[in-house]
C-alpha cells in the first residue's frame, strides 16, 4: 500500500478515539429497510446505545440468519456500530461477519458502476449508494477506516481483497479522510 502499516493496537486506539462521539441514531433509526431480517436486526440493537459495550460474539452473531447486521443498518447505525465490528476484527474474533466487504463494496472498480434498484423502483449505482451511506462520517472517522483498511490489506495473506481495498482507498476513503 506504500505507507507503513499500523499495528492492530494502534488502529484500535485510533478507532476508539475517532468514533468516541459518534451519535447513537435512536431506536427508530437503526435499519434502512423493512422485512424479517431488518426487523430482527432492529430488535437486537434496540437500546444498545454504547457500541463499546458490545462483545465481539454479539456483533459477530447479530443477524446470523442473514449475512450480517451491517447489511441492514441505516447510515447512522452503520457509523455508530462500525467501531465495535472493526475492533472485534482487529482482535481476530469475528467468524461470521467481515466488515471489510462493507467498506470497499461499491467503491472499488468492480462494483462501483453496478446498478442498484432502490425501494420505490428508482435505479442508481453502488457508488451513489455508498456515497450516501458514508456521508455522515467525519474526517477523523474516515482516517480510522483508512488505517483499518490498510491493516487488513497488509494482513491478507491470500491477497484476495488487496486490489478492492486499494481502489476503495484511492476512489473514496483517502479523500474523505483528508476532507477535514
Domain boundaries, the chain: 8-22+75-178
Q: How confident is the model at residue 3 (pLDDT cuts 50, 70, 90)?
A: low
pLDDT > 70 fraction of the chain, expressed in percent and rounded: 93
Reply yes or no on whether the pLDDT at 9 is more than 50.
Answer: yes
Q: In this predicted structure, what is the pLDDT of residue 57?
A: 93
Q: How confident is the model at residue 4 (pLDDT cuts 50, 70, 90)?
A: low
Reply yes or no on whether the pLDDT at 116 is more than 50.
Answer: yes
Is the pTM value of this prediction over 0.85? Answer: yes
Contact present, 136 and 75 (Cβ < 8 Å): yes
Q: In this predicted structure, what is the pLDDT of residue 35?
A: 83
Count CB-CB contacts under 10 A for residue 125.
Answer: 15
Q: How confident is the model at residue 118 (pLDDT cuts 50, 70, 90)?
A: confident
DSSP string, the chain: --SPPPPHHHHHHHHHHHTTTPPP--TTSSBSS-SHHHHHHHHHHTT---GGG--HHHHHHTTTTSS-GGGTB-HHHHHHHHHHHHHHHHTT--SS--HHHHHHTTTSTTTTT-EEEPTTS-EEEHHHHHHHHTTT--HHHHHHHHHHHHHHHHH-TT-TTHHHHHHHIIIIIHHHHHT-
Q: In this predicted structure, what is the pLDDT of residue 139?
A: 97
Beta strand 123-125 with 115-117 is: antiparallel
Tens digit of pLDDT for each residue in 38-94? 899 999 999 999 999 999 999 998 866 556 899 999 999 999 999 999 999 999 999
Q: In this predicted structure, what is the pLDDT of residue 2?
A: 46
Amino acid at each position: 500500500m506504500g505507507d507503513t502499516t499500523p499495528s492492530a493496537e494502534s488502529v484500535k486506539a485510533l478507532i476508539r478515539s475517532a468514533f468516541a462521539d459518534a451519535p447513537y441514531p435512536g431506536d427508530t433509526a437503526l435499519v434502512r429497510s423493512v422485512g424479517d431480517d431488518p426487523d430482527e436486526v432492529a430488535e437486537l440493537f434496540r437500546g444498545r446505545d454504547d457500541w463499546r459495550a458490545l462483545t465481539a460474539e454479539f456483533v459477530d452473531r447479530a443477524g446470523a440468519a442473514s449475512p450480517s447486521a451491517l447489511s441492514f443498518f441505516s447510515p447512522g447505525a452503520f457509523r455508530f456500530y462500525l467501531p465495535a465490528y472493526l475492533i472485534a476484527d482487529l482482535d481476530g474474533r469475528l467468524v461470521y461477519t467481515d466488515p471489510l466487504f462493507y467498506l470497499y463494496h461499491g467503491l472499488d472498480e468492480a462494483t462501483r458502476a453496478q446498478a442498484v434498484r432502490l425501494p420505490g423502483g428508482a435505479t442508481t449505482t453502488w457508488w451513489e449508494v455508498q456515497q450516501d451511506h458514508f456521508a455522515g462520517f467525519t474526517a477523523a472517522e474516515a482516517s480510522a477506516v483508512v488505517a483499518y483498511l490498510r491493516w487488513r490489506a497488509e494482513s491478507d495473506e491470500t491477497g484476495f481483497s488487496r486490489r478492492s481495498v486499494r481502489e476503495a482507498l484511492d476512489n473514496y476513503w483517502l479523500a474523505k479522510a483528508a476532507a477535514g
